Structure 1
């Protein structure tokens, strides 16, 4: 075929006015899916994991593949640009555009078939990798490529990006693990593509219509550019940059699926994929080698590769130091060998003897001055691997360090030149005054990840970033490498591709784009005919955010709410479907807007001055997104950059309702401690609230159907218990402690308080309780009534001041209240030294016993237990002390990793939240409780967790840790408190 028969290069797209009203109308009329053109949704999808931001035209969430096909047809009729998006974690800007965004992840996420014999499966593009592998496990199979975002990345996104991950050492990239793709062009041509033998290719080219044109055009491109492809495509395993024209070569079988892989939604929309699978390894082991520096570690990579590892990752001392600073993976860091840089070498095989032999061979062959550790159990290997997978989060927002950014985070070079490349890269850092950024990555394939402290908020800083990236690209080309080793080109590297491939091949890429998308409507401005790399920046020289006055102090964000709102880096861990606490509402809804990332995006847009979301606290878009936030604080720990959405929600609600009526639940639940105070002041010695049904009608109206509100509101019990003993109780040989009389324990479940006093006395403490009314302010904080919360905390400090200044520990029994003292209070009243004393002296029961009664032998419980961690305890205090105490007491504890209980303080009681609340609970907690036999205890320290289980798992009455230990002290079986019946003429429950 002559060059004149080649497809024309794609033109640069000139933005055309799209009639968005007509486009939205037709999408709603013809597409089976959710059509979102509202400001809130557009804001939530305005960026990905990169430095770039482009507000979309609208978002389509199709319910079926056929619905997506119809959506593409509507966009084509309206000449509207289109972007097909997976998990939205891309780091080069390929997942944001001023286009109609197709989000596959909510509905089109099914495993359609499995052919175990031939090791293949067919999937829809929205299925998450970990979810796919969980379903394949019963067949002993898995999908091989495994990026660090495996809990939340979708297969469609992996195909678009040609993803790799650490397992690519054994299995290769996505392009190496595909059998066929079903694809759709922008003009409506739908076809299955894959490897094409000569006869089939001739048949396809001889036909009529668009399919034949496509195959004739691809054959012409192959013939024209084959020699250049062989000459200029670097022969390294991590060449992800550019289009895969090499897949059209005869030696690769004219593989059209391979050609389209990694094309970043610029050529076709992927509808289905037939994947090639691999067996799950029967046995694995992990050797970690310690070196003097990361360049020396890189020099040793070729020698390690001789031992055929399944994965080979590099980590430098900076990454370890940053994780220490951020308290990430503390136990795993203790397992590292001596050194200031590390190679993590994983072996896989069919037998334990095989992997042990290979591990020993590596250890025997290593230099004498290289230290090592070696593990063969899954727990230790998983914990150590998290050190590497936490790289992006660990290097972002490091305390005391300037913010770091993508932009040169994905280069790859031949492995035998990796050490020298790193030395030159570090010299380039120094030349541009960027310090010594951490470098880590897939060293077995020569792929280097890093985040650099670019200044992206000034003209000078952006110009310097551009100059650095330009020089760094020259460096990679000099080393025979690839600008992208797995993250793709997008906008970050698109305009640099000419350095790597030369103008002739760039023309070939443009002709390929012109063949499949002649109008340049598919994700325009990415890969070919790209936007400049310093355009469309999420920040940029013109970034001048709104800086509102706030109630919280935001000490980790320079005291600025705008910086807190910009904290999210888009890695999307909040979209994972299993493990940890984050994000329960996303798991229930599969909605981007109801993920931590989606809410963070809306808050970021709110503080901008050029956003579809207004820059003020009255934003309905932000309010609606925050409405399903459970304020569980799971993100405070699980988010790699510690986004604290519970705090941001409280701040927003505080301002949003300032001077305006609030929802009824803010009064009924927010003022629960005040209701308890009314009971305490009642003359009659009743154990139940004297308020009549009429007075409680406003409370009942605020509680979600069919939820039963908190029951049995009693007079405070703890201070009366201590008072009857004539003052502080216990022999006190271990000193004095203050037991905190939180509203939930003291007024609703006083048996827990009595049990805690028994345990502390038995352990040798002298127990006292404040004799005045005190409160942590939790319910006012969670409902955004922060002025009241500050006053309440101020009064509490007045009451506790003498004890605090004597250094007396404060023992919290309700985790959410304890977390207020350890986290929220110091940020609400940051300049009060007694608040800081309260923070540092507050302990959970287990923490106090571990720190001050380590030699005390807890009573033998000798029972099995299902244990639900309270989300605030998980996020703020941690659960290690509790786990160890349960073990010491002989409790065989199954500590659940099933997320938030779903009740989450006032959230589950509020109208409109019941379905989400129960969906959260049914995701793991309630099935685990129901499946436990009658002899197994259910342990939950949180009032919300206990209430959710009691109301939703009939017959199960969870216990507080204090109750379990106290019952064992008495020599009786633990038994949960039963509420007393209501007295005559009294109303003890908030009924629906």
Structure 2
């Protein structure tokens, strides 16, 4: 092996850079077209990815175009600091966290620069999200083939960095198989396009005698020196992702320099642009689900299934199913699974329905007909969601220990997969990681790739030692089976140290030499893959992690053992909160959808809260609860609670925000924004207006333009339309009318929330009419009560708890008799169903209130057997309130509307943008309107006249009233039903 002419490999990682940060930041701001952030909040938000590791970056640059990124590298070179490119930030091996200047491509560098449909090629910038790219390509009949489970938020640059795969790789291969060329930048400033290289092209490059020529010359020498080792030691399996792609340099792969750089995890070059190969879309799909006694036996069946030529073949065990059941994920899909404790999900695709049907039926025939066949695209998508939910579903499972990455994506030859899983399970048993409920085993079984999260103890020194020993034993095991340490997610820091086990010392030396060829100063993402940090170094937790443990909490965090530290550590970095569209019905993170800022995602805010607790003693946030960086990141949280449901690990940022604000302003009320007082204390103001019957006067004064501006300025709120008080409150009206129903079904207490009672009492009157017609007797409190919502949303939790306590005591006799409480305003109803019990988890009356509070649709369906609503032949679009989506659910509404004959479209609009007090707070109006303009308002402008716009939330109706230029008004479900009750009676 002739290596004398090759540069020596990188053998160590550099220490912490010694640099004048102020000068570096100033140079970047002066020269880079983009956003330069060296503030504590930004550095905290980017301190980790989805792995076990944490390194606080030097600073963050968000370039507006690839040339700006190139200039960022130039400035970093002049200061001698490392550089790390980052896409969606969901890497699972630590490759996306480093003490470096982090380049975040995902906000601006998202352009599809060209598409050649005839050649099936496109050129893209690295920050474009996979789903966004495929949406733009939809009209061409082409798409980019590899599709990881994070397809809704992973970027093409990140996929190139990790050599991503996904379920579709069964048909299309890994990213390395789908990249035609890359435009790359070396740390020293050398920039060029690269790809497969013919001998003639190589000769032309070498004749130039420049830095690129030297790189290519050294690459050829490296290839020639190690060709034998590469062919002997690189496993011939579909999912070899570990190590650098030295095999791409071999003649049989056309000396493909771009292929070599795919999967290099930002350790060799900065990718500026990519030319991608595209594949035709397959319009016809079918899915067969097969059941087996256990997951090894399911794996044993894989070779036979592969004979039927599926385009995807996934494995799922019953433990993953159980985890999803505990988290209430994908219930419809889980109900469709056949009998068994493990399942293979087999997808067929093509252009001809008959061909797809024939393959599916051929598979079923070969298995004796045991299995389920699905043609409906909706049902197929639901089933696929079961598999894609794996990472989030197996993290923070109620009643089970925390699980972590580490052995997350090993791969073996598919024909040996069953025996590998048996041995892996035995290894779990040996280390004490097995239990009846985990760890789950699932993954891309058609390629022999296994996903799992393991209950490592990363909180103690002994647990970390066991983690290290397990990974070494697991590496030995997978190599024994001819497999790869990583089959999808790359090496990073988790597996960098283990590469000698798989490749031997000679190829690891070759990897180090490759690193030196491109990055001799070791400034590109140092400490990952080559000369890596130890796999138990720089852990996000670890035996020395000692976060602050606040004891004077208002919320009791019952799902996190009463610990705010555990709540802040709940995020696993999967990045679902960074979704760029609302087409999936997701509400989570409306502010991120507008700004594209990591700090405005649930994940980013969770990272800041984690760093605020300063468990490592070296974090960027040192002020604890007084942190202005955390306050500013939470400022644009709409408290929509979407993350409570949409986040796969149920991060509840609205609750965390309220808790933080309570402590941030503790003992210094003068620092609170005035809007916290005007909006937080709105219920008492409304009660005062209602008691004095001064609504008309207040409305007249606040709707005069001059006085309105004065009022909003004095109140510290945005200059928006001020909602009008009703001339008579619902409680006053009800006191005059009394209950007229016979109560054949019993008595229900109608909760007079502030918004219904004082602003829209017509909704309460309509609800009473509907309820009495349905056979209910209605009662209502006579005193002024409040659920405490407005005080919670502004972080005035002491007052909120006092208000809620008073309310619960007033309702206690009704609750103790088993009476139901009907909520009409979703946000207030959600207070009773969620927040109240998290503030008072040991109060039995509060728990009764949670269990006995219902929505109107729930009351008329679940609790009113035999009830049939009047026939309503109308078309409607529904703007579902965020808190209803997150806490209450809309299924009962859907059923009730269907029974009434209402043709209803639930809008995939996410949050309306007003979100209670948020849209009224100073400085929030632009974000509030931008949220509404994403989907809601454009959709309403296209809505036909006469279409009912269902909006149960006061915020949603207010936003529509003020901003919809088409003049629609929101209608509560009670109003829709009551109108037709009147028609029915007549």
TM-score, length-normalised on structure 2?
A: 0.97
Q: 1:372-407 CA distances to partner (integer Å, 9 max, x unpaired)? A: 111111111111111100001110001110100001
Say if 1:242 and 1:527, in contact at 8 Å, map to a contact too: yes
Q: 1:276-297 CA distances to partner (integer Å, 9 max, x unpaired)? A: 0111111101111111111110
Query: Take 1:972 and 1:625, find their aligned partners in 2: how far apart are those partners?
Result: 52
Query: Take 2:661 and 2:291, find their aligned partners in 1: how far apart are those partners?
Result: 49
Q: 1:881-940 CA distances to partner (integer Å, 9 max, x unpaired)? A: 111111111111110112100110000111111111111111111111111011211111
TM superposition shift of 1:541? 0.8
Within 5 Å, give how 1:766-781 maps onto structure 2. Answer: 766-781=777-792
Say if 1:861 and 1:968, in contact at 8 Å, map to a contact too: yes
Query: Take 2:292 and 2:180, find their aligned partners in 1: how far apart are those partners?
Result: 41
- Secondary structure at 2:432's aligned position in 1? coil
Q: 1:615 to 1:418 in 2, by over 3 A?
A: farther
Matched, 1:612 2:620: yes
Within 5 Å, give how 1:154-553 maps onto structure 2. Answer: 154-367=155-368, 371-436=370-435, 437-548=439-550, 549-553=552-556
Query: Take 1:655 and 1:296, find their aligned partners in 2: how far apart are those partners?
Result: 54
Q: 1:515 to 1:103 in 2, by over 3 A?
A: same
Say if 2:13 and 2:532, in contact at 8 Å, map to a contact too: no
- Secondary structure at 2:113's aligned position in 1? strand
Partner of 1:740: 751
- Secondary structure at 1:971's aligned position in 2? helix
Q: 1:441-471 CA distances to partner (integer Å, 9 max, x unpaired)? A: 0001000010111111111000000000100
- Secondary structure at 2:626's aligned position in 1? coil
Q: 1:570-599 CA distances to partner (integer Å, 9 max, x unpaired)? A: 000100112310110001000001100000
TM superposition shift of 1:684? 6.7
Say if 1:40 and 1:602, in contact at 8 Å, map to a contact too: yes
- Secondary structure at 1:69's aligned position in 2? helix
Q: 1:835-888 CA distances to partner (integer Å, 9 max, x unpaired)? A: 000000000000111112242111111111111110000000111111111111
Give the paired residue count.
Answer: 970
Range moving further from structure 2, 859-868 or 689-698:
689-698
- Secondary structure at 2:534's aligned position in 1? coil
Say if 2:693 and 2:728, in contact at 8 Å, map to a contact too: no
Matched, 1:711 2:724: yes
Matched, 1:646 2:654: yes
- Secondary structure at 1:733's aligned position in 2? coil
C-alpha root-mean-square deviation of aligned residues, in Å?
A: 1.7
Partner of 2:677: 667
Partner of 1:10: 10
Matched, 1:729 2:740: yes
Range moving further from structure 2, 656-665 or 165-174:
656-665
Work out which of the residue numbers 973, 981, 986 in structure 2 matches 1:961: 973
TM superposition shift of 1:711? 2.1
Say if 2:695 and 2:727, in contact at 8 Å, map to a contact too: no
Partner of 2:840: 829
- Secondary structure at 2:862's aligned position in 1? helix
TM-score, length-normalised on structure 1?
A: 0.96
Q: 1:728-775 CA distances to partner (integer Å, 9 max, x unpaired)? A: 331211111011111111110111111111111111111111111111
Query: Take 1:546 and 1:296, find their aligned partners in 2: how far apart are those partners?
Result: 47
Say if 1:861 and 1:891, in contact at 8 Å, map to a contact too: yes
TM superposition shift of 1:32? 0.7
Query: Take 1:714 and 1:52, find their aligned partners in 2: how far apart are those partners?
Result: 59
Work out which of the residue numbers 897, 901, 904 in structure 2 matches 1:890: 901
Range moving further from structure 2, 18-27 or 598-607:
18-27
Say if 2:689 and 2:695, in contact at 8 Å, map to a contact too: no
- Secondary structure at 1:767's aligned position in 2? strand
Query: Take 1:482 and 1:803, find their aligned partners in 2: how far apart are those partners?
Result: 63
Matched, 1:583 2:589: yes
- Secondary structure at 1:4's aligned position in 2? coil
- Secondary structure at 1:448's aligned position in 2? coil
TM superposition shift of 1:2? 4.9
Say if 2:726 and 2:761, in contact at 8 Å, map to a contact too: no
Q: 1:38 to 1:289 in 2, by over 3 A?
A: same
Matched, 1:872 2:872: no
- Secondary structure at 1:3's aligned position in 2? coil
TM superposition shift of 1:703? 5.8
- Secondary structure at 2:44's aligned position in 1? helix
Query: Take 2:57 and 2:390, find their aligned partners in 1: how far apart are those partners?
Result: 29
Query: Take 2:701 and 2:811, find their aligned partners in 1: how far apart are those partners?
Result: 30
- Secondary structure at 2:319's aligned position in 1? helix
In structure 2, runs of 5+ residues without a counterpart are: none
Query: Take 1:630 and 1:243, find their aligned partners in 2: how far apart are those partners?
Result: 43
Range moving further from structure 2, 692-701 or 240-249:
692-701
- Secondary structure at 1:29's aligned position in 2? helix
Query: Take 2:643 and 2:5, find their aligned partners in 1: how far apart are those partners?
Result: 55
Query: Take 2:150 and 2:298, find their aligned partners in 1: how far apart are those partners?
Result: 25
Q: 1:304 to 1:973 in 2, by over 3 A?
A: farther
- Secondary structure at 1:447's aligned position in 2? coil
Say if 1:13 and 1:519, in contact at 8 Å, map to a contact too: no
- Secondary structure at 1:344's aligned position in 2? strand
Partner of 1:977: none
Query: Take 2:387 and 2:14, find their aligned partners in 1: how far apart are those partners?
Result: 42
- Secondary structure at 1:586's aligned position in 2? helix
Partner of 2:911: 900
TM superposition shift of 1:690? 9.3
- Secondary structure at 1:852's aligned position in 2? coil
Partner of 2:809: 798
Q: 1:621-642 CA distances to partner (integer Å, 9 max, x unpaired)? A: 1000000000000000000100
In structure 1, runs of 5+ residues without a counterpart are: 975-992
TM superposition shift of 1:680? 2.7
Work out which of the residue numbers 556, 561, 566 in structure 2 matches 1:563: 566
Say if 1:688 and 1:713, in contact at 8 Å, map to a contact too: no
Q: 1:9-53 CA distances to partner (integer Å, 9 max, x unpaired)? A: 124133241222221111111111111011110000000000000
Partner of 2:859: 848
Query: Take 1:143 and 1:156, find their aligned partners in 2: how far apart are those partners?
Result: 13
Q: 1:891 to 1:695 in 2, by over 3 A?
A: closer
TM superposition shift of 1:818? 0.4
Work out which of the residue numbers 915, 932, 945 in structure 2 matches 1:934: 945
Query: Take 2:719 and 2:922, find their aligned partners in 1: how far apart are those partners?
Result: 10
Q: 1:169-222 CA distances to partner (integer Å, 9 max, x unpaired)? A: 000000000111000000001100011111111221232110100100110011
Say if 1:967 and 1:973, in contact at 8 Å, map to a contact too: no
Query: Take 2:48 and 2:368, find their aligned partners in 1: how far apart are those partners?
Result: 46
Partner of 1:140: 141
Say if 2:673 and 2:716, in contact at 8 Å, map to a contact too: no
TM superposition shift of 1:698? 5.2
Within 5 Å, give how 1:10-29 maps onto structure 2. Answer: 10-15=10-15, 16-29=17-30
Partner of 2:129: 128
Q: 1:94-148 CA distances to partner (integer Å, 9 max, x unpaired)? A: 0000000000011111111111111111100000000111110011111100000
Say if 2:789 and 2:827, in contact at 8 Å, map to a contact too: yes
Q: 1:198 to 1:923 in 2, by over 3 A?
A: same
